[in-house]
């Protein structure tokens, strides 16, 4: 049996997540391949998609969100995620009821019961029907005028209930007078071509579990059942059932290898690749693999948040919540955590505050500057180190 080593975990995850070749041809394909991409910080989440493509820009990602190819909503754990419109119906069918169950305590605390949720959802649906996408502030006014909370947790959980119930989903972003990008809400049924049933029967649920397991392990493997459970919010029993179904519907697509006393599931093609190359140990798959590679990723990137039990192969603790207002996004050096970064804007220029864990060698500094230049091309403006 071919042996799986920590360097293999890093190398294969970088490749499967499109942070190394093969890159996704477009940002929409990056989302489709990854199934769901955490996206609560929209400016940085755009970059998470674009950096997995040859040259997608911020404007490209914004357009995909505007036309509804990529949707942004609460799902999985739940938090904001980007999901391709072709996948959101069945994925919400799989996780929606569980999300409602998880929110029950907050629903009670904020007064969101069945009757009030039905009424508020009706008002929200009417407000955005016919492509009349509304901002959060506009929907706040709609609910407040009807006697519902227009701010605070009561407002938040009425909105989230409508999202999980497939009433609302992201609309086309708009720019404020000051140039800031503001998110809007739209009618779920007008943005999702195949919304699917509100509740899955046993066979439909099995098929959805199989689809999720197959998509997760082929896009994030090598990974463990516990990793997938934490990422998806499903139980470990559900993930194991998903692996069984995936083995039936896509025989030979997945394989497993042991490492550090755990079973890691991954694409079978990658096991064959390890055998063909003699279990290559170098991190990275570029022709210039001996050269250092720096990646600036957001702290909620799937390379971080896609794992729990085996996140330590990243080489550090992330996401990180620093003291004294320091940056919290992640610098990778050859796929392992090497520091923190954030962006700032002044005078039409993006300044990047990058703090490495150790002094940069000349080669690492050149790699960092190349990544800063790439970030500037993504934004369509000059980018420089602060």
Structural domain contains residue 216: no
Of 129, 162, 191, the last residue of a domain is 191
At 287 the pLDDT is: 45
From its phi and psi, is residue 36 left (phi > 0), alpha (psi between -120 and 50) or beta?
beta
**Residue spans of alpha helices (H) in the chain:** 6-16, 27-34, 42-50, 58-66, 85-102, 104-110, 114-128, 136-145, 152-164, 188-191, 202-220, 225-232, 236-249, 268-276, 302-305, 362-379
From first to last of its 386 residues, what are the pLDDT tens digits of the chain?
Answer: 788 999 999 999 999 999 999 999 999 999 999 999 999 999 999 999 999 999 999 999 999 999 999 999 999 988 999 999 999 999 999 999 999 999 999 999 999 999 999 999 999 999 999 999 999 999 999 999 999 999 999 999 999 999 999 999 999 999 877 778 899 999 999 999 988 887 899 999 999 999 999 999 999 999 999 999 999 999 999 999 999 999 999 999 999 999 999 999 999 999 988 876 654 444 445 444 568 999 999 999 999 999 999 999 999 876 666 667 889 999 999 999 999 999 999 989 999 999 999 999 999 999 999 999 999 999 999 999 99
Backbone angles phi, psi at 344, to 5 degrees: -150, 160
At 176 the pLDDT is: 77
Q: Enter the DSSP assignment of 192.
A: -
306 and 177 assigned to the same domain:
no
Q: Enter the DSSP assignment of 341.
A: E
Of 191, 206, 232, the last residue of a domain is 191
Output the DSSP codes for 109-154.
HHT--HHHHHHHHHHHHHHHGGG--EEHHHHHHHHHHTTS--SHHH
SS3 call for 282 = coil
Structural domain contains residue 126: yes
SS3 call for 263 = strand
Short-list 254, 250, 248, CA closest to 219: 254
175 and 307 assigned to the same domain:
no
End-to-end CA distance of the chain: 49
CA atoms of 320 and 277, how far apart (whole Å): 36
186 and 301 assigned to the same domain:
no
Which residue's entry shows tokens 């230049």? 373
From its phi and psi, is residue 161 left (phi > 0), alpha (psi between -120 and 50) or beta?
alpha
Short-list 68, 92, 81, 84, CA closest to 40: 81
41 and 181 assigned to the same domain:
yes
Structural domain contains residue 30: yes
40 and 164 assigned to the same domain:
yes
| Residue-number span of the structural domain to which 118 is assigned | 21-191
How many domains are contained in the chain? 2
Structural domain contains residue 71: yes
299 and 182 assigned to the same domain:
no
Of 173, 191, 209, the last residue of a domain is 191
Structural domain contains residue 45: yes
331 and 187 assigned to the same domain:
no
At 40 the pLDDT is: 93
Residue 22: how many other CB atoms lie within 10 Å: 10
At 280 the pLDDT is: 46
The CA distances from residue 366 to 51, 190, 292, 354, 379, in Å, are 18, 47, 9, 14, 20
CA atoms of 110 and 25, how far apart (whole Å): 44
314 and 172 assigned to the same domain:
no
Structural domain contains residue 341: yes
185 and 302 assigned to the same domain:
no
Structural domain contains residue 240: no
Residue 110 CA neighbour count, 13 Å, CB half: 22
317 and 169 assigned to the same domain:
no
Edge-to-edge strands of the sheet including 70-75? 37-38, 79-84, 70-75
Structural domain contains residue 338: yes
pTM over 0.85: yes
């Amino acid at each position: 049996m071919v042996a799986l080593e920590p360097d293999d975990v890093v190398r294969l995850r970088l490749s499967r997540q499109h942070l190394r070749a093969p890159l996704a041809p477009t940002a929409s394909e990056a989302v489709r391949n990854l199934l769901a991409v955490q996206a609560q910080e929209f400016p940085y989440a755009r970059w998470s998609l674009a950096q997995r493509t040859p040259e997608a820009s911020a404007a490209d990602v914004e357009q995909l969100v505007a036309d509804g190819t990529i949707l942004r909503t609460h799902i999985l754990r739940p938090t904001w995620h980007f999901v391709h419109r072709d996948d959101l119906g069945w994925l919400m069918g799989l996780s929606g009821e569980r999300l409602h169950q998880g929110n029950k305590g907050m629903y009670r605390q904020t007064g969101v019961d069945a009757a009030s949720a039905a009424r508020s959802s009706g008002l929200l649906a009417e407000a955005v029907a016919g492509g009349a996408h509304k901002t959060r502030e506009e929907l706040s006014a709609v609910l407040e005028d009807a006697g519902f909370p227009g701010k605070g947790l009561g407002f938040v959980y009425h909105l989230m209930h409508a999202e999980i119930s497939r009433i609302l989903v992201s609309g086309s972003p708009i720019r404020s007078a000051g140039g800031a990008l503001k998110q809007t809400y739209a009618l779920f049924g007008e943005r999702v071509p195949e919304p699917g049933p509100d509740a899955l029967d046993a066979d439909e649920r099995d098929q959805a579990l199989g689809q999720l397991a197959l998509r997760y392990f082929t896009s994030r493997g090598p990974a463990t059942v516990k990793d997938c459970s934490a990422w998806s919010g499903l139980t470990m029993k559900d993930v194991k059932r998903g692996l069984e179904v995936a083995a039936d519907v896509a025989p030979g697509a997945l394989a497993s290898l042991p490492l550090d006393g755990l079973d890691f599931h991954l694409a079978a093609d990658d096991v064959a690749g390890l055998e063909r190359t003699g279990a290559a140990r170098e991190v990275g798959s570029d022709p210039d693999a001996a050269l250092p590679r720096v990646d600036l990723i957001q702290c909620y990137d799937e390379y971080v948040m896609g794992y729990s039990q085996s996140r330590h192969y990243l080489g550090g603790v992330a996401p990180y919540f620093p003291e004294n207002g320091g940056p919290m996004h992640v610098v990778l050096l050859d796929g392992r955590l090497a520091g923190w970064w954030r962006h700032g804007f002044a005078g039409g220029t993006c300044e990047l505050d990058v703090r490495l864990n150790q002094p940069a060698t000349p080669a690492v500094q050149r790699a960092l500057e190349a990544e800063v230049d790439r970030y500037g091309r993504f934004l369509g403006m000059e980018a420089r180190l602060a």
